[in-house]
Homo-oligomer: A and B are copies of this chain.
Amino acid sequence: MKKIEMDITGVLSRTIGEHGIEEKDLYDTSMRLDDFKKKVYKSPYPFMDFGLLKSHIGEIKKIADSVKRFKIKNLVILGIGGSSLGTETIFHALLHPFHNLDTKNREGKPRYFILDNIDPHKINKVLEIVEKDRDKTLLIVISKSGETPETMSQFMLFKEVLRSTKNYTERIVVITDSKKGMLREIVKKEGYPSLSVPEGIGGRFSVLTPVGLFPSSVMGIDIEEMLRGAEDMYGYIKKTPYRKNMAVILAAILYLMDIQGKKMHVMMPYCERLSAFSDWFRQLEAESLGKAGNGPTPIKSIGVTDQHSQLQLYIDGPKDKCITFLYHGGEKRGIPDSIPYITDLEYLAGKDMKDLFYAEFLGTRRSLIEARTPSLTITVHEINEYTLGAMFFLYEMVIALMGHIYNINAFDQPGVELGKIYTKAVMGKKGLEKQKKTIEKDLTTKKHLIGF
């Protein structure tokens, strides 16, 4: 039986008319993408190098094992963007939905706090929590460049709290570039256990490196199985003819939708556990393809919840969107007939919640088809390490292939550098006095300010 299936019926013009994709266009574009694919497989990107990815497993497991002796109560992960979104996605998919709530839910594993922001209000609260158990706190500090100001400033704060405890250097694990950057320098000087982000793998493609795998390993997640799923997907994409190849067809659809004016790519999981996968995809697509005045906008949406928030717009608004449903059937829960005297509830009473969930998905998809809004469905038959690894790799390949057809570098992010310079200027970094003045001018010009 298939583990992941894609149904593209709802995106074809034969189903929805002019807003859909002509099959000729789909297969022409897929053929072009298939050529890119063959080239890419001949000289693979680092994120596709499973020898490289697997070479880190030993060290990851060694460190994860060695920290067990501390009976960690709090796992604090400092990282932002690609340094945290993969872990967030994995934890959300595979841990108990109320993991932090009580010890039974987390089965002896630590509570976790992923700090992907620097609002002092929340940071202060996490510091309060950690201060109580500072000798039972494991800190993972992740920054590929080793320079990220958000992560470095968090690190300075948390180091200060931990340093009063015994062996604190063994409870700080650093994941950064193997040679360059401040964090690597700090590791050398202070002797923290550390792991490397393999060269040539940027943040948003790093979930299958120590960046995503080390925190997962600490939580007892089977990281080898995750890599196995990813590698099997690698093999499937390599060998499957383009008309049956999910990566090639999906890349062709997302590209064609964009150039046909469906510039918003909504990802709408009908599966709580996959809801964070949309956040991960959102970075992957936006940061890889949003360049040179082009690039679709990825949007997170949640089924069934957003039927009561966004569906009106998807159905009745402009035809500028393409919806990808991620569907997973999940488990059963019988709906008891506890209000038997209301006959209008007959269609629910005695049925199963799982079937209602499925019916809502089917009803939504059908109503999009009738509204001529393009959609496709990816069904993930089981949620586990293997399928999650496969889904990560599938989308990484999709975006890498799309980079080729847009003729852009999918692996850089030049647009964000300017903001970083201004931030440092405001913070008083030397040599940036001119930029600081520009911001000061922004703040003193108050002509267009109104208030309550």
Contacts and interface: CB of A to CB of B under 8 A. Distances in A.
Contact of A120 (B319, B341, B357): B357
A107 interface: no
Nearest to A247: B452
A424 interface: yes
Contact of A312 (B12, B291, B311, B369): B291
Nearest to A113: B98
B189 A447 contact: no
A290 interface: yes
Contact of A246 (B300, B356, B451): B451
Interface residues of A, number: 163
Given A317-B291, A344-B182, A2 B451 contact: yes
A119 B362 contact: no
B118 A428 contact: no
A425 B5 contact: no
Copies in the complex: 2
Contacts of A105: 125
A293 interface: yes
Given A320-B263, A419-B367, A244 B450 contact: yes
A321 interface: yes
Interface stretch (A46-54, A154-162, A216-224): A154-162
A150 interface: yes
Interface stretch (A62-70, A193-201, A347-355): A347-355
Contact of A308 (B203, B312, B371): B203
Contact of A313 (B245, B286, B353): B286
A152 B232 CA distance: 42
B8 A159 contact: no
Nearest to A23: B448
A422 B363 contact: yes
Contact of A356 (B153, B394, B413): B153
Contacts of A203: 308
Given A282-B310, A345-B182, A304 B271 contact: no
A136 interface: no
Q: Which of A294, A354, A360 has the most chain B CB atoms inside 10 A of its CB?
A: A360
Interface in A109-167: 111, 116-127, 129, 147, 149-150, 152-153, 155-157, 159-160, 163
A366 interface: yes
B363 A425 contact: yes
A146 to B, nearest CB: 10
B293 A452 contact: no
A13 interface: no
A318 B333 contact: no
A295 B308 contact: no
A342 B147 CA distance: 11
B304 A317 contact: no
A405 to B, nearest CB: 16
Given A317-B297, A318-B263, A353 B452 contact: no
Contacts of A263: 318, 320
B309 A85 contact: yes
B5 A121 contact: no
A418 B347 contact: no
A362 B442 contact: yes
8 contacts: A7-B446, A8-B450, A12-B448, A156-B337, A160-B336, A316-B414, A362-B422, A363-B418
Q: Which 3 A-B pairs have the closest CB atoms?
A: A81-B308, A290-B313, A363-B422
